[in-house]
């Protein structure tokens, strides 16, 4: 039995635009998904998941699942969740050259499902690491990131970027531009505050909506390019340790995402609550449509303001996690 964990993430800048080759800067946060894998005597998968902002579920199947977890979330998210686990198991089998291996898999996560904090990437990264180790193979973080990207690419019908999976695998702050992925060194402490509306956006649907806008309107394509420009300026501010400029650029980034139609009333209300409490900046994080916002605030004012904002179900501070995927000792 092997237990591996991987962190969630927030986007400092660049979600959606990264799908089109623009740069993005995601940052790993100290909220993790833990995946326990134990090899079975047959080729079946038995998956038990808890703490995914759901009621938890257990499903056992071989190959394509006909069983349905009894949980109160959109069916598309359930299908995606099962798809991610299926594909992660397949990647572990492939890496170990064990096509008939079966697994008992337990998923425990502190990361809300579909909320823009990289829950699927963290589960896939941790699952591939635990699965390959259980079969006697150890992969590098970059190899795990590559295999995890293939999983997300397939499950999201070719619309995924490398950002979430690379960030979860290596930890810290990273820069993604197309296939070029690398860690950003000497990053200052980033005082993240997260607000969560309890909802979840459909990543595939939201990405497809931006693609349709971009294909139809030149100004939507220009908006995507403008997000890339914000990221480039933001990376310079990050390396200079200029938190005030980082906050201003986060505000710009949110406005551009709002123009692309991926925000929501609850996300906008949380963003404005954080800004009006004198946070340095605030924006949605992830695909949008519901889920989380991230604010930059060294005080407790933004967190307090969010806790009183209608529609905000949870707020918490999240430190930058410099660890990527890891084996949990003593598990």
Q: Catalytic positions, please?
A: 164
CA distance 12 to 5: 22
Q: Which two tokens stand for residue 218?
A: 């030149």
- Rounded to the nearest 10°, the torsion over CA 230, 165, 199, 309 is -50
* Cα 137 from Cα 160, distance rounded (Å): 26
CB-based contact 245:235 (threshold 8 Å): no
Q: How far apart are CA 8 and CA 165, in angstroms?
A: 9
CB count within 10 Å of CB 205 equals 12
Edge-to-edge strand ranges of the sheet holding 25-39: 57-61, 45-50, 103-109, 25-39, 2-13, 326-327
Q: What is the largest CA-CA distance in the chain?
A: 58
User: Cβ of 215: how many Cβ atoms within 10 Å?
Assistant: 9
3-state secondary structure of 211: helix
Residues β-bridged to residue 93: none
CB 139 within 8 A of CB 147: yes
């Amino acid at each position: 039995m092997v237990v591996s964990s991987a962190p969630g993430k927030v986007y400092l800048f660049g979600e959606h635009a990264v799908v089109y080759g623009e740069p993005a800067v995601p940052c790993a946060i100290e909220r993790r998904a833990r995946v326990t894998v134990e090899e079975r005597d047959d080729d079946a998968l038995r998956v038990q998941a808890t703490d995914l902002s759901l009621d938890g579920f257990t499903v056992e199947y071989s190959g394509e699942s006909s069983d349905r977890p009894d949980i109160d979330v959109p069916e598309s998210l359930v299908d995606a969740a099962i798809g991610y686990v299926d594909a992660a198991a397949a990647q572990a089998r492939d890496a170990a050259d064990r096509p008939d291996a079966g697994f008992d898999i337990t998923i425990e996560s502190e990361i809300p499902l579909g909320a823009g904090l990289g829950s699927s990437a963290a589960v896939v990264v941790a699952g591939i690491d635990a699965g390959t180790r259980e079969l006697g193979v150890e992969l590098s973080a970059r190899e795990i990131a590559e295999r995890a990207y293939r999983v997300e690419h397939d499950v999201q019908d070719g619309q995924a970027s490398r950002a979430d999976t690379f960030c979860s695998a290596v930890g810290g702050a990273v820069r993604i531009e197309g296939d070029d992925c690398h860690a950003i060194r000497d990053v200052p402490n980033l005082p993240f505050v997260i607000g969560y509306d309890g909802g979840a956006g459909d990543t595939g649907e939201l990405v497809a909506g931006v693609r349709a806008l971009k294909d139809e309107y030149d100004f939507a394509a220009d908006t995507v390019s403008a997000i890339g420009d914000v990221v480039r300026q933001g990376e310079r501010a990050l390396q200079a340790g200029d938190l005030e400029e980082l906050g201003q650029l986060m505000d710009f980034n949110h406005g551009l995402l709002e123009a692309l139609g991926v925000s929501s009333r609850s996300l906008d209300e949380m963003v404005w609550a954080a800004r009006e409490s004198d946070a340095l900046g605030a924006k949605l994080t992830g695909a949008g449509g519901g889920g989380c916002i991230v604010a930059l605030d060294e005080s407790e004012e933004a967190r307090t303001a969010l806790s009183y904002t209608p529609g905000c179900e949870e707020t918490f501070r999240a430190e930058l996690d410099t660890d990527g995927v890891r084996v949990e000792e003593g598990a």
